[in-house]
Amino acid sequence: MKQVASVGMEEALRLGVTKYAFATDLKDAGIDSPTAEVAGYGVTGAVNAYRTQVFLKAKKMANFKPIQKITLLAGPAYFTTAGEGITQAITALK
């Protein structure tokens, strides 16, 4: 999921969007996965990709509009659990 989120961030920047949304879990596909961990991996991949692009932009090797908002989609049954994973990932990235 880190790689998927990383590619999502790179594509968002390449397309010039400033806001985008993605779903980190595959519950609708019948795949049972640890929601909090998967959501955290999504955040980690997106943030790391963004940081890489910021570094490249500082070296004049990339050009993009800053991302203003990322929305991670989670169904009502997984909202709280996904939020916990997102919070843990953000804390770890600081």
Range of the domain at 77: 2-93
More reliable by pLDDT, 75 or 6: 6
Residue 25: exposure state from Cβ atoms within 10 A (0-12, 13-18, ≥19): buried
Q: For 56, left (φ over 0), alpha (ψ -120 to 50), or beta?
A: alpha
Domains of the chain: total:
1
Query: Which residue type occupies 56?
Result: L
Please state whether the predicted TM-score (pTM) of the whole model is above 0.85.
yes
Nearest to 82 by CA among 73, 91, 70: 73
Residues belonging to the chain:
94
Q: Which of 29-38, 61-70, 72-81 has the lowest mean pLDDT?
A: 29-38
Identify the H or E element spanning 48.
Answer: helix 35-58
